[in-house]
Amino acid sequence: MMEKDEADTLSRLFALRTQLVEPAVASGGGKIVKTTGDGVLAEFLSAVRAVEAALAIQKGLDKWPDIGEPLQLRIGIHIGDVIARGDDIFGDGVNIAARLEQAADPGGVLVSSAVYDQVASHFPDVFSDAGEQELKNISRRIRAWTTSGASPRLPSPADEKPSIAVLPFESLSQDSDQEYLAHGIVEDLISSLSRFHWFRVTPRVSALTVHDPESAGATLGVRYVLEGTVRRSGSRIRVSAHLVDLGVSTTIWADRFDRRLEDLFDLQDEMVQAIVGAVVPEFVASFQPGRPRTSISSWELAMRGWNMVTRLDGSGEAVLGAREMFQEALADDENNTLALSGLAYSFSNPYYQTGTERDVRAAVETARRAIETDGRDAFAWCLLGVARFYANEFGEAERCLRRSIAINRSLSLAHVYMAFVYAFRGAVDEADKWAESATRLSPADPLLPMLFQARAMSRFVIEDYQGAVDLSNQTLAVVPDFQSAWRMKAATLEMMGDHEKAAEAVEHLLALGPVTMEWARRELTPTQDPEAWSLYLDALSRAGVPEET
């Protein structure tokens, strides 16, 4: 983070230290001995008060009203004698505490067994056994306990945000490079999936204690498990992975990825991105609206709404149905940012379906509520960018989308709408670049056909009508009932002088819904170039779209 933006990271870090860390230490009767860069060494007279302060810091960090890539802290705690020299302290106890901090998970607290023995009765069900740790420059193994583990219970259907555990990937050979790749893939998968606020990801330290999906539910309290294998044959690597829903004992996604072994780090990044890009859409798609549950949580209602609203071949009724799902979810939990973001999306009427109207003001206000609830939620920032786009505020839209990508570069929806922002400006190369980025990130995303329409609009703005109609045909080959593609096809054919085929395209369009020019002027998002937009609307009218019902 320092490499990306040194000044911003330092200012956020100092604010965090003065406003959260120092007050938590002081309230626990401790004192900060010294600070070392982004580290803090603190001393307490009581193990219980030290743990209280550590938990308060991590809990406070979860709600920290910050913007940008989330700041995460590791905390290690040990009991031991120390030697005081001036304002500093030294000794084996200090060294072990420092090494425990390095071994802790981001966002976690790792304590030695000496600490755990004193505090376990005060903090029941908080710590789980992390096993014996081999710590750097410490000759003996240290038994440790971590806050990262969940209490041993199966999640009930009403639980919010079910957890997902990435189990250690099995290496099917003794090749050391393959072992490193398997470990690296798991580490990066946990990091990448953690940036999505749709589920909680169990930290690696906890997942290491489990090696099969059946025991993961009881041991880690998770609903979903991602596991896989790594196999090498000559210069090729094959990674197989599958996602299991423990609630219904069903594999909801499985795939394999074959790549050449040229550079391990590049290969690892590519594999992780491919798996994340495949898992997230499948995860959303698994929440079918009609799927029976004994009890439906606010979180699951929101997921079902997202499943409905991401159907490009859906109707206006589907958008309204999704909106009802999001509103019902918010009735149960007004701070459900996934539902707030979805509601903003539905108010935007993102695919311009007839049968429902956009409410751009409500879309912007709802997305803002999501950000006020959690300013570190990349999805919320993305949806504010989407709402700004549909409000024809392309500069603000780009700013919000870039902030979303800074928090979670794997969020393909933000890349999709960056392509739209540049397309409606007529910036063909930039629109194509972002469209390719979104496709690379999430090749299974059901929203990808929209990108053909983004690119088609960029061609229309610069009067490349053949390019626009070709791209619209590519959309229709995948989603035959996508109204936006039929509108673009009709307008471009009319601009090319082929009135007969343009009129045929309008017939297809009208068969999908009661489209009128009055509706188009009111509901559609204009391009940044008013002349290009006038040409588009005029072409639709000449192709046969009626003025009013």
Residue 242, pLDDT > 80, answer yes
**pLDDT digits 0-9 by tens, 35-55:** 877 889 999 888 888 998 999
Q: What is the pTM of this model?
A: 0.59
The amino acid sitting at 212 is D
* DSSP codes of every residue in 375-432: TT-HHHHHHHHHHHHHTT-HHHHHHHHHHHHHH-TT-HHHHHHHHHHHHTTT-HHHHH
**pLDDT digits 0-9 by tens, 515-527:** 899 999 988 999 9
Residue 214's pLDDT is 64
**pLDDT digits 0-9 by tens, 455-486:** 999 999 999 999 999 999 999 998 898 889 99
Residue 161, pLDDT > 70, answer no
Q: What is the mean pLDDT of residues 388-402?
A: 93
Average pLDDT over the chain reads 81
The residues, any chain, with a CB within 8 Å of residue 193's CB and separated by 6 or more, are 164, 166, 199, 201, 226, 276, 279, 280
The class that CATH gives domain 6-146 is alpha beta
The residues, any chain, with a CB within 8 Å of residue 454's CB and separated by 6 or more, are 416, 419, 420, 423, 431, 435
Task: Give the separation between CA 458 and CA 427, rounded to whole angstroms.
Answer: 6
Residue 387, pLDDT > 90, answer yes
Task: Give the separation between CA 389 and CA 353, rounded to whole angstroms.
Answer: 17
Give CATH superfamily name and number for 163-285.
TolB, N-terminal domain (3.40.50.10070)
**pLDDT digits 0-9 by tens, 295-308:** 467 777 887 888 78
CATH of domain 424-549: 1.25.40.10
Q: pLDDT band for 536, please (50, 70, 90 cuts).
A: very high
The amino acid sitting at 19 is Q
Please indicate whether residue 313 or residue 508 has the higher confidence score (pLDDT). Answer: 508
Closest CA to 329 of 343, 314, 316: 343
Residue 166: strand, helix, or coil: strand
Fold agreement (6-146, 163-285): no
Of 86-100, 278-292, 469-483, the least confident: 278-292
Q: What is the mean pLDDT of residues 207-236?
A: 70
Core vs surface per residue 476-488: b (16+ CB within 10 A) or e: beebebbbbbbbb
Residue 225's pLDDT is 82
Residue 257, pLDDT > 70, answer yes
Helices (H), 104-200: 113-119, 176-194
Task: Give the separation between CA 87 and CA 171, rounded to whole angstroms.
Answer: 49
Ordered by start, the domain boundaries in the chain are 6-146, 163-285, 424-549
Residue 195's pLDDT is 64
Residue 288's pLDDT is 55
Residue 150's pLDDT is 33
Q: pLDDT band for 401, please (50, 70, 90 cuts).
A: very high
Task: Give the separation between CA 345 and CA 141, rounded to whole angstroms.
Answer: 52
Residue 397, pLDDT > 90, answer yes
Residue 312, pLDDT > 80, answer no
Residue 212: strand, helix, or coil: coil
Q: pLDDT band for 157, please (50, 70, 90 cuts).
A: very low
Residue 159: φ, ψ to 5°: -60, 145
Residue 500: strand, helix, or coil: helix
Give the percent of the chain with pLDDT over 70. 81
